[in-house]
Structure 1
Amino acid sequence: MLAGRYEVGRLIGSGATARVYRAFDVRLAREVAVKIYDRDAVALDQRRRLREMTIQGSISHPGVVALLDSGTESGRTYLVMQLVEGENVAERLLGGPMPLAEVTALAGGLAEALAHVHALRVVHRDLKPANVFLSADGPLIGDFGIAHALDATHITGTGLIPGTAAYLAPEQVSGEPAGPPADVYALGLILLECLTGEREYPGTMVEAAMARLTRPPRIPEDVPPSLAHA
């Protein structure tokens, strides 16, 4: 029992510094997702966790996974979040490209959610298929672990480029600060991947970065103009 309230169940996801479990909130009798961070965190990681709590807790939108609670127990920080019943886009793409109508609906939902996030002067900085969840009510953006408030001090380690190589915008690859356009660029790459079933910039960090700086994304000729120029 976590915090005397959450019955932690099976593992449903994991990353470099944390694991996500399905859990049950006995106080409110509801299913939730609990993200538990590793104990051995350096000061930079601890500051990022506090930043994630602050940023995600400030966002209230049906297209963003809601932060419900947070705390520390036995030296581990945890976040309690809305449980999304459904797969993420990365899992969905294992079955191949998505139908045009589905991609169009996805584009609209994510664009609306991003517009709300950006209006709060927050940049996600790590938008990718694995961080977009597909629910019966529409797509949701999750994992604000390296999100940044535009008015705040940067806490990224020296020499590090935040984000996932395949979805970085050119300015991120060049080491420049990421603003809202970087999220929009990543969204475009996600939608392109949904249409083709292929990652536009595959390979290692260096390979993906070099390709980003030497050629624009290749958009199939049969993509409707309304989506190609969204």
Structure 2
Amino acid sequence: MTETPDRRPGWLELGVALIAAVVVYAGGLVLLVAFPAGTPALEGIAQLAFSGLAPLAVFAIVVAVRIRGLRAFGVRRVDPKWLLVAVGLAAACLAVIRTFDVVVARLYPNLDDAQGDLRAASAAGLATLIGTIALGGLLTPLGEELLFRGVIARFLQRWGTWVTVLVSAFVFALWHGISLVFPSAFLVGLVNGWLLCRTRSIWPGVVLHAVYNTSFLLLYAFA
């Protein structure tokens, strides 16, 4: 099937993505609960593996439905300067969220940040730290950007930049749960949605997401 330059995912792809996401994520969560890893560190590794592989599986299902050209999902070359911009924006997002976390920790010192297993995995030793970075710093950003920007945000682009950025960011944050992770995911979603609209490529978002996640995992390891 010939791909036109302005082609993007449609209602069919969105519907398949939603159904596949429910099935894949529900099945994965059942497996995580039924077969616990045994220690917080291994639980963290398992969660990161799931958070990377699940969106990749959903994306693969969506691609197999109708549109074979990956450019329709924002998988296209981009000017390298945008990758540098993404690194700078990742640093800015990190600064904002770190400030937010410090303020919340002072106001609510006993509040659970829902990242205990990831902290344990990052701090358990060199091997687990490498595993957390490979899974949480590389695989998860790739999988989530393909799904949330490549499918959902690209679908929303037919209604303009504001709808694309705000709605895709909210869906992305909501998928991470109502917790202290929500503001972080919403901010990253906003910036990556904007990058997608400016560049028509998911790669700046993947770079930002990877730098952001890896920075937090390193902070967990050495804090």
Report the TM-score when normalising by structure 1.
Answer: 0.32
Higher helix fraction (1 or 2):
2
Q: Which has the higher contact order (CA 8 A, sep 6+)?
A: 2
Higher strand fraction (1 or 2):
1
Report the TM-score when normalising by structure 2.
Answer: 0.33
